[in-house]
Amino acid sequence: MVFFCGAGVSYPAGLPGFDGLTSGIFEALGENPNPTEKEAINEKRFDLAISLLEGRIKKRPVVREKIREILTPKNLDNPASTATHQALLILAKNQDDSVRLVTTNFDRIFLKVAPSLSFYAAPLLPLPKKSRWNGLVYLHGLLPENNDATALNSLVVSSGDFGLAYLTERWASRFVSELFRNYVVCFIGYSIGDPVLRYMLDALAADRILGEEAGEVFAFGDFNDGDEDRAQRDWQSKGVVPILYPNRGSHFLMHETLKEWAGKYRDGITGKRAIIVHEASSPPSPIKSDGQIERVLWALMEPTGQSAKSFAELDPVPPVEWLNVFAEPRFTQSDLRKLGIPPSFSNDNPTLFSLLDRLAPHGYGVHMSLVSIGGPNVIAPRWDAVMWHIARWLICHLDKQEVLVWTVKQGCLLHPQFKNLIIKEINSDTCRIPHSLIKIWRLICAGLATNSRHWSLMPLYDWADQFKRVGWNITLKHELIYLLQPLVSFGESLQGRLSKQEAEMSQQAANHDPHVRDYVDWEICLRIGEHPWEKIREIKTHIDWPRVAVECLPDFTSLLRDTGVNGGTRGGFR
């Protein structure tokens, strides 16, 4: 992630944008724009206006000296003048303490804030590769501390300068193209009509036409009341994802946002835990634009699990509504880095994943989850710390129907660690879960519950093939008893489909302690699916079947008893 900084970053220091610089040059030289120059200014082609002025008065060195005077801050003692620069330098620092930041500004404020900062001034630019770049890039040149004519002449400010940098010599466009290929870029401090931005986005568009890969490009952009949709469309038409904010004078919200981001980034785990404490105690916001859900998820995905631990231990416990957020498949391969997992990119594998069902940090391509829809023989990988603490939080809501319904929909096959947490909870002396709900959880933990749609006849077919090829043995006997074991198939009850208010009213009207069917519908089914009879008839034609059937008769009888046909329902299950 690289921030690309424009003139708006230096507004708090009293420096102008491109329009203010242009008018300041004319004023400092005592020149009034001629009709052609005025037309260029009105069309916001400030680079052309400066180029026309330099060509008309034939005093390019004088124009450049005036630029240096205009863009030299008079007073930087006020901390507010440099707060945004300090925030950006924090955000630009990577885990290896290298800095990657780009600016098209000429001023030296970044170097005033961080005098020891490494920098590159155009046209001598680095290759924007992750292994080779450490420092601040002045893409369009840097003001010298004195009247250095060579440095001033190198500033990219007129249309002729832009032509050399982006079209003829192309050193700027090559840097920008390489940057877009290697990084996610965020423009900040530019207006949508900024000629500087136009040159860079034109370079990006040219690369995309040629089929070059590029990361996402973001930009902070302001809008006036009623113009948000238009601003959104304008930015998107340029291939940019806008981060929009209402213009409330001097772009205050943009500067405050950067300072807030820098504080969270600088504080590391502490900053993320602060987000959890302040925002996760409330239910997920229904207003998508307020960013609450994204901030909480970003904080929770901290790889050490410290933020997730704070979430699990909040008092009061974060509401159960967060389960739907965590279970939603909203992440892509690129999000794995947030969890400390190297992504395994594949163009033909765009699978989304959720916080509760995702790749494990250990083992290439291995998925981990709380509840799996895989078969019982699938080896469950060990959880990471984030998954462990989210499971601890979910245990606090084990009495909620939402947790049960979600578990049933996932197939009822619990991860061993999740099963152990549930058993510990329902066996504790402090457990306050209704008795009928405990019955359900005990069946699920015992592996005697299913959502029948997750089973198939394939295990029975495989068993029958083995029986034909190798004959009867003790292993096949145990496998057959396992396959014929009756299960309780759960489904969402009518009560579960009611709204919370309707369910409470229904419960009060019934005036009884909740029964199993108040939580889930159920029926007895076989592990081998709903229609195994044809395959079973085929198995019975095997020459050894009569002997096998006699040997297994006590087991078959026990399985029948388990279905409840000899005495009501299983263990009083109702």
Taking only the tens place, the pLDDT of each residue in 534-562 is 888 888 888 889 999 999 999 989 888 87
User: Do residues 65 and 149 make contact, with C-beta atoms less than 8 angstroms apart?
Assistant: no
Q: Where are the domains of the chain?
A: 2-14+78-261, 268-397, 449-572
User: Do residues 368 and 376 make contact, with C-beta atoms less than 8 angstroms apart?
Assistant: no
* pLDDT above 50 (res 55): yes
- The pLDDT value recorded for residue 62 is 92
Confidence class for position 143, pLDDT limits 50, 70, 90: very high
Amino acid at 393: W
Quick one: average pLDDT of 444-472?
A: 80
Taking only the tens place, the pLDDT of each residue in 470-514 is 889 999 999 888 888 888 888 876 555 545 555 555 555 445 567
User: Do residues 296 and 280 make contact, with C-beta atoms less than 8 angstroms apart?
Assistant: yes
- The pLDDT value recorded for residue 375 is 54
Instruction: Work out the number of other CB atoms within 10 angstroms of the CB of residue 252.
Output: 13
Region of poorest pLDDT, from 47-51, 110-114, 375-379, 425-429: 375-379
- Check residue 272 and give left, alpha or beta (phi > 0: left; psi -120 to 50: alpha): alpha
- The pLDDT value recorded for residue 495 is 54
**What class does CATH assign to 2-14+78-261?**
alpha beta
Among 435, 434, 372, 432, CA closest to 407: 372
Quick one: average pLDDT of 269-292?
A: 88
* pLDDT above 60 (res 565): no
Alpha carbon distance 166, 177 (integer Å): 11
Task: Report the interhelical angle of 46-57 vs 18-29 (nearest 10°).
Answer: 20
Confidence class for position 569, pLDDT limits 50, 70, 90: very low
Instruction: Work out the number of other CB atoms within 10 angstroms of the CB of residue 572.
Output: 9
Alpha carbon distance 416, 445 (integer Å): 9
266 versus 82: which is more confidently predicted?
Answer: 82
Quick one: average pLDDT of 352-373?
A: 80
- Check residue 438 and give left, alpha or beta (phi > 0: left; psi -120 to 50: alpha): alpha
* pLDDT above 80 (res 117): yes
* pLDDT above 70 (res 115): yes
Q: What is the SS3 assignment for 384? A: coil
Among 197, 251, 263, 188, CA closest to 224: 251
Confidence class for position 6, pLDDT limits 50, 70, 90: very high
pTM for this structure?
0.67
- The pLDDT value recorded for residue 348 is 46
* pLDDT above 90 (res 330): no
Quick one: average pLDDT of 517-525?
A: 81
